[in-house]
């Protein structure tokens, strides 16, 4: 096996302590396996993209000693690949247009006496648009046992999700015309030959959808490892929305030592080189036997 991993930041702002943990974990896993590590700029969500943020992220990664082994991939340049995958699914009848607004979905869940406040799409438009204009395009998930996706996460252990009851038919093309994250990430991982996905545990919940989509597209499923997310002082996931501070570009080693500690790794801060070799060795003991 030729290990290929990736770090896939969304350029919605500068890197912070939380995104550094994901970057570092994916980098260490690639190094521990003697593999390649590729950066992908996830700018498919154009309205959320902050001008200049992607270049700043790439510069910070370089400055912190994490160099992409191949030129970074930009999602904004990959529309043709997403369209081709979408059309393949369309040809097999697996996707359908949906005219529901968020409000209508919420209302129909209440009407169905949905006991759990999950946002599983109830499949209203499976049988047609009922005279409404098409908004999003959804992928049909199977019913019954076939909807249950199981996988073993290398950090979090055995996972199970019932796509039918916990997620419902999910959007591949959004109401605003943009490709959905789930489609983009699956097509990108497949085209880049990614064998191992290492990322934050906030995405654990998306993994079953991605595995199902891989099966629909006939592409391999990578190994997954989801690292614990970094929370702020009041238990919220660190993000730009919760006021995460950008990384201190003047103190890369301090920031890296802190990120490693979050992963349960103590590594010396003498130089970037000694830090990375010690951290890689520690990671390898746990995750690359
Ligand atoms: N772009 C996503 C994020 O920054 C990560 C997606 C992924 O790793 O699959 O949260």
Residues 238-276: pLDDT tens digits? 887 777 889 999 999 999 999 999 999 999 989 999 999
Residue 110 scores a pLDDT above 80: no
What are 71-100's pLDDT values in tens digits?
Answer: 999 999 999 999 999 999 999 999 999 999
What are 174-223's pLDDT values in tens digits?
Answer: 999 999 999 999 999 999 999 999 999 999 999 999 999 999 999 999 99
Domain with CATH 3.40.50.620 in the chain: 4-77+193-202+216-287
CATH number of 80-173: 3.90.800.10
d(CA 286, CA 289): 7
Residue 234: predicted pLDDT: 80
- Best of 25, 42, 189, 241 to mutate for ligand 1, by most ligand atoms within 8 A of CB? 42
C-beta of 8 in contact with ligand 1 (< 6 A): yes
Helix axes 79-91, 181-191, angle to 10 degrees: 100
Sheet containing 73-74: give its strands across.
73-74, 36-41, 4-7, 196-200, 223-227
Identify the burial level of 108 via C-beta atoms within 10 angstroms of its C-beta, where 0-12 means exposed, 13-18 middle and 19 or more buried.
Answer: middle
C-beta of 199 in contact with ligand 1 (< 6 A): yes
Q: Is 64 annotated for ligand binding?
A: no
pTM of the complete model: 0.94
Tokens of 287: 């995750």
**Per residue in 20-37, is it b (16+ CB within 10 Å) or e — as a string?**
bbbbbbbbbbbbbbebbb
CB atoms within 10 A of CB 143: 11
Q: Which CATH architecture has domain 4-77+193-202+216-287?
A: 3-Layer(aba) Sandwich (3.40)
Ligand 1 atom with least separation from CA of 189: 9
C-beta of 185 in contact with ligand 1 (< 6 A): yes
Domain with CATH 3.90.800.10 in the chain: 80-173
Give the Å distance between the CA of 9 and the centre of ligand 1.
6
Give the Å distance between the CA of 147 and the centre of ligand 1.
24
d(CA 180, CA 211): 15
């Amino acid at each position: 096996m030729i290990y290929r991993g990736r770090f896939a930041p969304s350029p919605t702002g500068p890197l912070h302590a939380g995104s550094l943990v994901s970057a570092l974990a994916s980098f260490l896993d690639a190094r521990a396996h003697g593999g390649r590590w590729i950066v992908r700029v996830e700018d498919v969500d154009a309205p959320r993209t902050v001008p200049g943020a992607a270049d700043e992220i790439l510069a910070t990664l370089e400055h912190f000693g994490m160099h992409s082994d191949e030129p970074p991939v930009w999602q904004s340049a990959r529309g043709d690949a997403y369209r081709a995958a979408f059309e393949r699914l369309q040809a097999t009848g697996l996707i359908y247009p949906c005219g529901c607004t968020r409000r209508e979905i919420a209302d129909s869940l209440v009407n169905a006496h949905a006991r759990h406040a999950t946002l599983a799409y109830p499949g209203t438009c499976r049988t047609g648009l009922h005279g409404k204009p098409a908004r999003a395009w959804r992928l049909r998930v199977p019913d019954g046992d076939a909807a249950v996706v199981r996988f073993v996460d290398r950090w979090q252990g055995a996972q199970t999700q019932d796509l039918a009851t916990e997620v419902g038919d999910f959007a591949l093309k959004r109401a605003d015309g943009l490709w959905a994250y789930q489609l983009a990430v699956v097509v990108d991982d497949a085209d880049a030959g990614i064998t191992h996905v290492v990322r934050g545990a906030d995405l654990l919940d998306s993994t079953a959808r991605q595995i199902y989509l891989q099966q629909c597209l006939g592409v391999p499923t990578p190994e997954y490892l989801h690292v614990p997310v970094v929370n702020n002082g009041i238990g919220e996931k660190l993000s730009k929305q919760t006021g995460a501070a950008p990384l201190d570009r003047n103190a890369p080693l301090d920031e890296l030592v802190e990120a490693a500690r979050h992963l349960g790794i103590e590594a010396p801060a003498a130089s970037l080189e000694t830090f990375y070799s010690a951290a890689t060795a520690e990671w390898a003991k746990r995750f690359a036997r």
